[in-house]
A and B are shown apart, each in its own frame.
Chain A
Amino acid sequence: MTAYVLEDYLRDLSRHLPELGFRDRDATLGEVRAHLTSEAARLRAEDPHLSADEAMLKATAAFGEPSEIGVEYGPGGGLVRRGTGDRILRVAVLTGRMAARTGRAAGRGARAVLKWSAITLAFLLVLGVTVALVLAITYHDTVDHAIRDAEATHVDYRDSGTYGIADPHTGSETPSFAVSTSAAHVDVDLSVQPQAGCLAIILKAPDGTVAYQNGSGCQPVSYHQSFTQAGTWTLQLTYVSFVGSYSGQATEYPAPSPA
């Protein structure tokens, strides 16, 4: 062990701290100075026969060679830079155990949540199916009749159109629709919404009588009426520079089936 007194030791130690920044190096040397001073004082208190230099030599010897201590501050010691594997190992040691315990606890918790979620969903499913079955049995006939009635409803006529101001429509159309003899009634819905021009409508029943007309057709109109005549109905649509929208529908409804 090379003989040092305090300042020589600190100077040598400083040479072995090349990677530390100025402030860190200053702080480190300050700590080491305080340490060695205290240790030398303790040694002299233990053995009053020691001189100040002798006590300091013993203190620096116990502290370590500057080159060895300097290494601890460098990449090998981990202060300046750690190898990736070293860092991973260190982190793994510090956190792995806790992570494993947490993971196991979390796993147990997650499995419990999943188990009870599955049980709850299964219960709700069974409950829902049971309710549906009860309702189906109770209202079977009603539902059955409604389904049959809905399937029997028939749209005999449906049309709609929109004409923009850049393309006003002029012309005439004569659509028709047939209402079956089994129909209880037919609902006719007509709508004209002119922005400009006119759309005149005439609705004729199978017997040739005029069931409805909207005059010149230059005003907005919404028409709904039920009829019972079976046969062929006709519409006469006359467009005159018409800008706007038109829609028409005829729906026949069967006679209600016996309960």
Chain B
Amino acid sequence: MAGAAEFLHRSERALVGGAQDLLVLRLLQREKALHGYALIRCLDDATGNRSLWKEGTIYPLLAVLEREGLVASRWGDPESGPRRKYYHLTPAGRQALRVLGLAWQDLKTTVDETLG
């Protein structure tokens, strides 16, 4: 039973993780530039505060996207409070969003049809 629970946890984590990539790219495209905290708030608004993932997971995801060249970042000037890192999509990121969006549509259609 514990093994099944672990399996379900991993599966759900994989599903949510894949969707998070797509949502983050889409929000950055829509909002042009966001820091991590603002991105989390936008995700909450977009998902109806469903809290599909821990807020802290956004930062390692953004770091991976930046390393892969899909987003770029710059530190903002602190008007008040701590400095924030702002992220925006690169041309490669826009391309990846198009590809991932199409892949998602295909996957969604296939899964919906299979699950009936």
Interface presence of B63 (CB below 8 A): yes
- Are the C-beta atoms of A37 and B64 separated by less than 8 Å? no
Number of residues of chain A lying within 8 A (CB) of chain B:
29
Q: For the complex, what is the distance from the CA of A24 to the CA of B73, rounded to whole Å? A: 13
- Are the C-beta atoms of A34 and B57 separated by less than 8 Å? no
- Are the C-beta atoms of A35 and B55 separated by less than 8 Å? yes
Number of residues of chain B lying within 8 A (CB) of chain A:
29
Contact of A97 among B67, B82, B83, B99 (CB under 8 A): B99
- Are the C-beta atoms of B67 and A79 separated by less than 8 Å? yes
Contact of B37 among A28, A35, A69, A93 (CB under 8 A): A35
Q: A64-B56, A79-B60, A94-B96 are in contact. Are A34 and B67 (CB under 8 A)?
A: no
Within 8 Å CB of A109, what residues of B? none
Most buried by A among B35, B40, B51, B54: B54
Contact of A64 among B54, B61, B85, B100 (CB under 8 A): B54
Q: How far is the CB of A47 from chain B (nearest CB, A)?
A: 16
Q: For the complex, what is the distance from the CA of A65 to the CA of B56, rounded to whole Å? A: 9
Per-position binary interface string of chain B over residues 76-97, scored 1 when its CB falls under 8 Å from any chain A CB and 0 otherwise: 0000011111000000000110
**Which of chain B's residues 22-57 have a Cβ closer than 8 Å to chain A?**
35-37, 40, 51, 54-57
Contact of B54 among A32, A68, A95 (CB under 8 A): A68
- Are the C-beta atoms of B60 and A93 separated by less than 8 Å? no
User: By DSSP majority rule, is chain A's interface helix, strand, loop, or mixed?
Assistant: helix
Q: For the complex, what is the distance from the CA of A33 to the CA of B59, rounded to whole Å? A: 12
- Are the C-beta atoms of B81 and A96 separated by less than 8 Å? no
- Are the C-beta atoms of B99 and A34 separated by less than 8 Å? no
Q: A64-B57, A69-B56 are in contact. Are A35 and B36 (CB under 8 A)?
A: yes
Within 8 Å CB of A79, what residues of B? 60, 63-64, 67
Residues on A facing B (Cβ under 8 Å): 24, 27-28, 30-35, 37-39, 62-65, 68-69, 72-73, 77-79, 93-98
Q: List 23 A-B contacts (CB under 8 A).
A: A24-B63, A27-B85, A28-B63, A31-B85, A32-B59, A33-B82, A34-B84, A35-B36, A35-B56, A38-B37, A38-B81, A65-B54, A68-B54, A69-B54, A69-B57, A72-B61, A73-B60, A78-B64, A79-B60, A93-B18, A93-B100, A96-B103, A97-B102
Extra 14 A-B pairs, beta carbons < 8 Å, given A39-B37, A69-B59, A98-B98: A28-B59, A31-B35, A31-B36, A34-B37, A34-B81, A34-B82, A38-B81, A62-B51, A62-B54, A64-B57, A79-B67, A94-B99, A94-B100, A95-B99
